[in-house]
Structure 1
C-alpha cells in the first residue's frame, strides 16, 4: 500500500520520538526543501543539521489538527522541549511519490501578558547552528587527546557557548545521564588545555567558550538551548536591540523573540540579570 501524507507524518513523529536521525533524513528527497519561518533548509546535509538540533531538545510533540488531501498534509502541533513552555506550531508537507518533497513549518505568534503584543517588535536573529552529536568516549576514562577534539567541535559549532552546556552535550553523546563532578573535571581540564593551546577563548569572569578569532557576542535564535543556556551578554545585547526597535517590556519581548510563552520565576530572575548587564555595557 502506498504511503499517504498522514502515514509519512505519523512515521516522522515516531522517528523523532525514537531519535532516529538518519531515518528522518531518508524520508526526504535528495533535493527536498524544508521552509522554516526564518530560513530555507535544502538537501540532506542541511536537513541532517536541522533534525540533529531538533532531536537534541528531546521534543514531545502532540498533534492537535491534521488534514490531508491527495499528496498534501496540513497540521498543527504542540511541542514541549525540556522544561520550556509548550509552543504551538503549524506545518504542511507535500509528497512526491512516497517521500517528502516540500515541508513548511513555523510557530504561531505568541501574545504577551496583559493582552499586549510585543510580536510587532522584531529584530534579526542569526540562525543557531547546533553541534551534531555522535558517539564519543567516556570523559571519565578517555585521555586528553580524545576529549579535546570533541570539545573543540562543540565550541566551533555552537560558540559562544556556556561551558556547562558544552560539557552536558559531551556527556549525553557519551551515553551519560548527567554531568557529574567526576565527568566535569576532565572536561574542564581539556577546556583549559584548549585555551592554553590558543584554540579557544574563554570570556573573562565567566565560562563562555568560543573559537579564537570569532565574535564575543552573537545574537542568535534560541535553537535547542534552554533560556538559561544562552550567554548572559547575548541576551543583554538582544535586549538593547529590542529597546532600540521600540520595545518597552524587555523581559517579555525577549521571550517573544525566542518563541517562549510563560514568564517563570526562573526566567524572570535570569532576565533581570541580563537587564543589569544591558544597562551597564
Structure 2
C-alpha cells in the first residue's frame, strides 16, 4: 500500500471514530436530558402534593385556632376572667403564707378593689349568675387575672430543683431521694416532698409540680403514665415546648387552684390522674369567662 493510501485510510478511520463518538455523545445527552426531565416532573408533582398538604394543614390549624378562641377566648385581646372579692373569698386554698405571693392572690386589682388573701372554706364559688351584693358586681371591685407565662414558671422551678436535675443524681434513684430530702427545708410548702415521694423512686420532674396530691397520684399510676401526663399536660416541669393544655391564672402559680387543664386532658386523664376537684377548678375559670362548663365526674 502506498504512503498516500495509508494516510487516507487513517483519516477515514479518524472520521469514523469521531462520528461514532458524536453519536454516542448525542445518545448519552438525550438519555441524560430525559432523566432530568423525569426528575423535574417528579419533583413538581411532589411539590404540588406538599403544597396541597400544607394548605390543608394550615386550614385545619386555622379551624382549630378558631375553636380554641371560642372555647378560651383570645388571651391576646382579653386580659382574662374578672373575679369579684366575694368569689375570691370562696376560692379554695390548700396552704398558708410562704415567701412567694400569698395564697389566693389572683392578679393585680383595680384601685378601688380590696385585696383579700384566700383563707376561706374549701369548695367552689357560686356561678356568676348567682345574685351578689351591688358592691361585688361593681366593676371597680373586680380583680382581673391573666395567664402566667409557663416558661417563666418552668425556669423558676428548675432553679429551685437544680440539685436533683444533675445527671449523677437524676440517674440514681437512691441519690435522687436523698438529695430531695436534703432540699426539703428550702422549698415552699406546696413543693415540700410528701412521704411517698421520699420513699418511692420516681422521675425528678414530678417533684416540681406544686401540688402534693397530684405528685402522689402520678407516682401511684407508675412511670409510663406519669411521664405521658407530664409531657402532654404539665409542661411547667418538663423542659419541652408548652403544649397549651394547661393555663395558670394569675401570679400565684404555686396555688394549684389557679391551674386550668384543657378538655382534651380531662378526656384522657380525668378520673385516673385528675380527680373531680380538678374539673371543678377548671369549670370555675371557664365560668368566669363564659365558656361552656365541662361535665363533672365522681
TM range (shorter): under 0.3
Which structure dedicates a bigger proportion of its chain to helix? 2
Q: TM-score, normalised to structure 2's length?
A: 0.25
TM-score, length-scaled by structure 1: 0.26
Q: Looking at CA atoms only, which structure, 1 or 2, has the larger radius of gyration? A: 2
